Amino acid sequence: MIIVTGAAGFIGSCLIQRLNQDNFNYIIAVDDFSDEQKNKNLDGKKIQERVDREHFFEWLDANYQEVEFCFHIGARTDTTEFNVDIFNKLNLNYSKKIWKKCLDYQIPLVYASSAATYGLGELGYDDNESLIPQLKPLNPYGDSKNDFDIWALKQEEQPFFWAGLKFFNVYGPNEFHKGRMASVIWHTVNQIKNTGEMKLFRSHNEDYKDGEQMRDFIYVKDVVEVCIYLMHHRRNSGIYNLGSGTARTFLDLVKNTFKALDVPENISFIDTPEDIRDKYQYFTEANMSKLQSIGYDKNFTTLEEGVNDYVKNYLVAEKYY
């Protein structure tokens, strides 16, 4: 029996599909299942039981003896939300409770952290745990993820295996429900369909030309491969970066999207909204040596390969993974 929180979401639902491919079908899907569009991510997947997140801990107290592993992927992920109480409830305190239950019941745990913890990257993008208390996230979402990382590292009592994964810019299928928070590829395909062009944010940093702001984009299929690896590995507890290890520009991303659609490039630039301008990251790139040092040796999907697969096989086809 494997628990996946955030099961109906983007990464959680892709993880369940990947688990099903390896014949792990005894899945306990935990989420708030009130969003019917989001629930479509679970259509066709093999799930033993759906458990509302508000009732999850009672369920776990009654069923812990059957649980083999817990993936805590669920969180409030809206970086434009500034109500700290929401993040304290859904990200920080909920995660602490899951940690304590996994400790009490000796359930190995993998949880979702975020590259949002790195802020503007003043200290780089190295998953050195001694630096984590010094990081300065740019918004309450990043704060909530970093606060939990700091808390986890301070715990003298820990689940026998645990890992926090700092997801960088994840893209891929099953994000139809995310709206404004969906990946730039999703927005590009929709803009091209509607207007024939794509508008990117203009650079307001003299070190970067328009469209050459850089991110570490990682395909969701690579993210879930790492999750599967850690489920079997169960050693070397700690916090790990999870990106491709290679920063690419937004222009690279969008040009590859036009190419996958077989549509002529038509790219223009608009000012970055003022409400996010001073908190805008111009560069992120995961140092992936720590994960590789514990034996993870699969190659990450290139941006060209990932965009092509995502656009042609999921977005254009309107299919789920």
Catalytic annotation, residues: 141, 178
What's the CA gap between 146 and 208, in Å, rounded? 28
What's the CA gap between 129 and 292, in Å, rounded? 16
Classify the phi-psi angles of 21: left when phi > 0, otherwise alpha if psi is within -120 to 50, otherwise beta. alpha
235 annotated as belonging to a binding site for a ligand: no
DSSP state of 167: E
C-beta separation of 225 from 303 below 8 A: no
53 annotated as belonging to a binding site for a ligand: yes
195 annotated as belonging to a binding site for a ligand: no
Which among 289, 291, 299 is positioned nearest to 218, based on CA atoms? 299
C-beta separation of 71 from 30 below 8 A: no
CB atoms within 10 A of CB 138: 18
C-beta separation of 269 from 218 below 8 A: no
204 annotated as belonging to a binding site for a ligand: yes
What's the CA gap between 144 and 164, in Å, rounded? 13
What's the CA gap between 29 and 3, in Å, rounded? 6
202 annotated as belonging to a binding site for a ligand: yes
Beta bridge pairs of residue 298: none
203 annotated as belonging to a binding site for a ligand: yes
32 annotated as belonging to a binding site for a ligand: yes
67 annotated as belonging to a binding site for a ligand: no
Q: In 3-state terms, what secondary structure has residue 214?
A: strand
Q: How is residue 33 written in tokens? A: 């299942």
Burial of 83 by CB count in 10 Å (0-12 exposed, 13-18 middle, 19+ buried)? exposed
74 annotated as belonging to a binding site for a ligand: yes
170 annotated as belonging to a binding site for a ligand: yes
234 annotated as belonging to a binding site for a ligand: no
Which among 222, 223, 221, 203 is positioned nearest to 213, based on CA atoms? 203
Express the helix, strand and coil content of the chain in percent, nearest 5 each: 45, 15, 40
192 annotated as belonging to a binding site for a ligand: no
316 annotated as belonging to a binding site for a ligand: no
Binding-site residue numbers are 10-11, 31-32, 38, 53, 73-77, 145, 169-170, 178, 180, 187, 201-204, 215, 280
Binding-site residue numbers for substrate are 169, 180, 187, 201-204, 215, 280
Binding-site residue numbers for NADP(+) are 10-11, 31-32, 38, 53, 73-77, 145, 170, 178
